[in-house]
Amino acid sequence: MNIPAALSRSVIRERTWSLLTDLSVFAVIAAAVYGVLTIARYWFGAATPAAQISRSPSALPAYAFYSLVRITAAYVLSLVFAISYGYIAAYNRRVETVMVAVLDILQSIPVLSFLPGVMLAMVSLFPYRQIGVELGSIILIFTGQVWNMAFSFYSSLKAIPRELREASDIYQFSSWQRFIELELPYSVIGLVWNSIVSVAGGWFFLMACEMFVLGNKDFRLPGLGSYLQTAAGAGDTGAILWGLAAMITVVVLLDQLVWRPAIAWSERFKFEQVEQSSQTYSPILHVFRHSGAFQWLRERALTPAWERVSSSLARPHKPAPAARSHWIAKAAPAAGVAVLLLALYALFEAATVLRGLTAQDLFSTFRAAAATFLRVMLALIIATLWTVPAGVATGFHPRLARIAQPLAQIAASVPATALFPVLLLVLVRLGGGLGIASILLMLLGTQWYVLFNVIAGATAIPTELREAASVFRFSNRQQWTTVILPGIFPYLVTGLITASGGAWNASIVAEYFHFQGKTLTTLGLGAQISAATDAGKFDLLLASTIVMAVLVVSVNRLVWRRLYRLAESRFRLET
C-alpha cells in the first residue's frame, strides 16, 4: 500500500468535507438574512388582519415559514422571561410565594382569555401596520409556551446542591459568574427539554392564535394554524392531511437541526463524577464544531466579545451603600401603595364588567368549572400512569432514546386539534360524545409536559448512583423507591404543574369545536370561555377566568406548593 498516497487522499477528503461544511454554514446564514428581510418587509407593510387562506398545498411552504417565525419569536421571548422570572422568584423569599402562585394562575388561564386585551392593545399600537396583528399572535403563542420553562428554571435553581453554592461563595463568584458558571449550566437539561415541549405547545395552540373571531372582527394570519383550521372547518380531509404533512416536515427538521444538537450539547452539564458510557450524537453539532468558518468566527469575534462582556460583569459583589439602601427602604412602601391602588382599580373595573351577570350565569359557570376540573384531574392521572415508566426508560437507555425522542417530539408538536375531527368522528361512531373526546384532546395536549420532564429527570440522575444500585444488586422495586423516583421527583412535580395548566388551557379547544359548519360543545369552562369570546360577552369571559383562577390558586396552595417544598427539602441531589 502506498502510504503517502493514502494520506493524500485522506487530506483531500478532509479538505473537501471542510469546504462543504463551510458552504453549508454560509448557506444557513444567507437564508436567515433573507428570511429576516422578508419578514421585516411583510410586518411593516399595510395591515391585512383578515387574510384569505388558501387550501391549496402550494401555499404550505410560505405558511410554514410564517408560522415558524412566529413560534421562534415567541420562544425567544419565553426564554428571556422564564430565566428572569424564575431567577427573581428563586432568590427573593418575600415575593417567592406570590410569584409562584401568579405563575401557576397565568399558565392555567386559557389563551383566549388573553386574546381580547392582547390583540386590541397591539392593534391600537400599530393600527396601520401588519406588525400589530403579528405581535398580538406572537404574544398569544408566548402565553402557551412560557410557563413550564419558568417553572423548570425556578425548580432547577431551588435544587442546586448546597456544596456547589458553598464552592461559589468560597471562590467569591460575582452574581454574573455564579449565573454563568453554576446556575445556568445546572438548569440547562431541564430548560432544553421544557423548550421542546414549549415549542410543541406553540404548535398545539397555533390554530387558535392565527385565526380567531373577536366580536365582529375576524382575524386571520397566513400560517399552518389558520390553514388547518380552515381545512377542519370545511371538513376537507385532504387539506388536513397536507397541512399535517407540512407540519410534521417542519417538526422533523427542527428535531434534527435544533433539538438533537441542543440535547447533545446539554449532556455536558450533567452533574456527575464519572463519565457516562454513551452520549447523544448529533451530526449537525459535529458539523458546526468542525467547520473552519465557524471556528474562525468563534475565535476572532464571538470568543473575544464574550470575554470582554464576562470580564466587565465578573466583579465582586459589593453591598449597597447605606444611602442607597435607605432609598430602597423608602421606595418599597410607595411601590406597595402603587400596586395596591392598581389592584383596587382593577377590582373596580372588573366589578363594573361583571355587573350584568345573572344568577343563572353564575350557576352555569360553577357547573362548568366542576366538569372541567374533573376532566383535568382524569387527564393528569392517565398521563402520569404511562409517562413515568416511558420517560424513565427513554432517559436510561440511549438506544431507545435515539428512536423514542424524535417520535415523542413529533407527536408532541403535531397539534391534537388538527387530528380532532378524525378522532371525534371515530368516537361519535363508537357511541361517545364530546365529553369523552375532550378528555382525550386534553390528554393529547398535556401528557407531553410530564413525559419530557420525566425524561429530563431520568437523564439528570448521576451515573454513579445507577452504578451503585447495580453493584448492590437492588431489586427493581428498590431502584424505583431509592434512586429513580427520588431522582425524578422535582422534575415530575414541574411536569405535573405545567400539565395541569396545559389541561386547563386545552379546554378552550377540547370543549368547543367548529366542525363541518357546526359548533360542537360540552359542559365546561373551556366551552364557556370560547363561546363568550365568539359572542363578545366580556362579562361572562371575565367571570369564567376568575373562577378558573380561584380553582388554580386553591390547588396551588393545597397540592403544588407542598410538593415543591417536599422536592426542595427531601429530594435535592447533594452530599
pLDDT (tens digit per residue) in 343-384: 666 666 666 767 777 788 888 888 988 999 999 899 999 999
- State the average pLDDT over residues 133-159: 85
DSSP 204-261: HTHHHHHEEEETTEEEE-SSHHHHHHHHHHHT-HHHHHHHHHHHHHHHHHHIIIIIHH
Give CA–CA dist 369/104, Å, rounded.
Answer: 17
**pLDDT score at 458:** 86
Residue range 12-301+357-570 forms a domain whose CATH class is: mainly alpha
Give CA–CA dist 377/366, Å, rounded.
Answer: 17
Q: Is 276 helix (H, G, I), strand (E, B) or coil?
A: coil
DSSP 283-328: HHHHHHHT-HHHHHHIIIIIHHHHHHHHHHH-----PPPHHHHHHH
32 Cβ partners below 8 Å, 6+ apart? none
- State the average pLDDT over residues 71-94: 90
Q: Which residues pair with 218 in a beta bridge?
A: 213
| H-state helical runs in 414-460 | 416-429, 434-460
Enter the C-alpha cell of residue 286. 459535529
Give CA–CA dist 209/228, Å, rounded.
Answer: 12
**pLDDT score at 550:** 83
**pLDDT score at 511:** 81
Query: Where is pLDDT greater, at 405 or 318?
Result: 405
- Residue whose C-alpha cell is 448512583: 465
- State the average pLDDT over residues 474-489: 86
- State the average pLDDT over residues 300-328: 58
pLDDT (tens digit per residue) in 15-63: 555 566 666 666 766 777 777 777 777 777 777 766 788 888 888 998 8
CA atoms within 13 A on the CB side of 71: 27
pLDDT band at 80 (very low <50, low <70, confident <90, very high): very high
Percent of residues, the chain, with pLDDT higher than 90: 5
**pLDDT score at 140:** 84
User: By mean pLDDT, which of 1-10, 299-308, 437-446 is the weakest?
Assistant: 1-10
**pLDDT score at 389:** 92
Give CA–CA dist 84/86, Å, rounded.
Answer: 6
pLDDT band at 447 (very low <50, low <70, confident <90, very high): confident
Mean model confidence pLDDT for the chain:
77
**pLDDT score at 337:** 66
Give CA–CA dist 127/125, Å, rounded.
Answer: 6
Q: Is 514 helix (H, G, I), strand (E, B) or coil?
A: strand
Q: Is 572 helix (H, G, I), strand (E, B) or coil?
A: coil
pLDDT (tens digit per residue) in 495-552: 888 888 778 877 877 787 766 667 777 888 888 888 887 777 777 888 888 888 788 7
User: By mean pLDDT, which of 223-227, 332-336, 343-347, 470-474 is the weakest?
Assistant: 332-336
Tell whether the model's pLDDT for residue 127 goes beyond 80.
no
Q: Is 454 exposed, middle or buried (0-12, 13-18, 19+ CB in 10 A)?
A: buried
Tell whether the model's pLDDT for residue 479 goes beyond 60.
yes
pLDDT band at 256 (very low <50, low <70, confident <90, very high): confident
Tell whether the model's pLDDT for residue 417 goes beyond 50.
yes
Query: Where is pLDDT greater, at 463 or 352?
Result: 463
CA distances from 141 to 119, 148, 285 (A): 12, 13, 28
